[in-house]
Amino acid sequence: QVELVQSGAEVKKPGASVKVSCKASGYSFTSYYINWVRQIPGHGLEWMGLINPNVGFTKYAQKFQGRVTMTRDTSTGTVYMELNSLTSEDTAVYFCARDVTGGGCDYWGQGTLVTVSS
């Protein structure tokens, strides 16, 4: 069965970086884009960007451009999202989600809580 399993919760200091992983299984890893979506506690969903695991192509939301990097490791079927220069406003749950071309996100990871606090 399709599964996306994310890395565990993180606590970071302001100015630090965080790297969240998302390990895919149960399907052809290179056949589906992966989106990253975050949710600040008590708020809505915010699309951060996506990666094509086949060729590594990425597209980021303008808000995160220059601060986010999405990568993949095809040998392990894992995608990564690294966010730099963290502030308290980056405290959120970060989700990875499999993209159905032209459609929505049909499978999601369980979410990773990133807390930024001094």
Partner 1 sequence: DIQMTQSPSSLSASVGDRVIITCRASQSITNFLNWYQQKPGKAPKLLIYAASSLQSGVPSRFSGSGSGTDFTLTISSLQPDDFATYYCQQSFRTPKTFGQGTKVDIK
* Residues of this chain that bind partner 1 (CB under 8 A): 35, 37, 44-47, 49-50, 59, 61-62, 95, 97, 100, 102-106, 108-111
Nearer to partner 1, 46 or 82 (CB): 46
Question: Shortest Cβ distance from residue 111 to partner 1 (Å)?
Answer: 6
Question: Shortest Cβ distance from residue 99 to partner 1 (Å)?
Answer: 8
| Pairwise CA distance, residues 118 & 17, whole Å | 13
| Pairwise CA distance, residues 20 & 68, whole Å | 11
| Pairwise CA distance, residues 34 & 101, whole Å | 10
Nearer to partner 1, 8 or 103 (CB): 103
Nearer to partner 1, 19 or 57 (CB): 57
Nearer to partner 1, 16 or 47 (CB): 47
| Pairwise CA distance, residues 114 & 102, whole Å | 30
Phi, psi angle pair for 29, to nearest 5°: -55, -40
Question: Shortest Cβ distance from residue 106 to partner 1 (Å)?
Answer: 5
Q: Please state, in angstroms and as integers, the Cα–Cα distance from residue 58 to each residue in 30, 35, 92, following that order.
A: 14, 10, 22
Question: Shortest Cβ distance from residue 61 to partner 1 (Å)?
Answer: 4
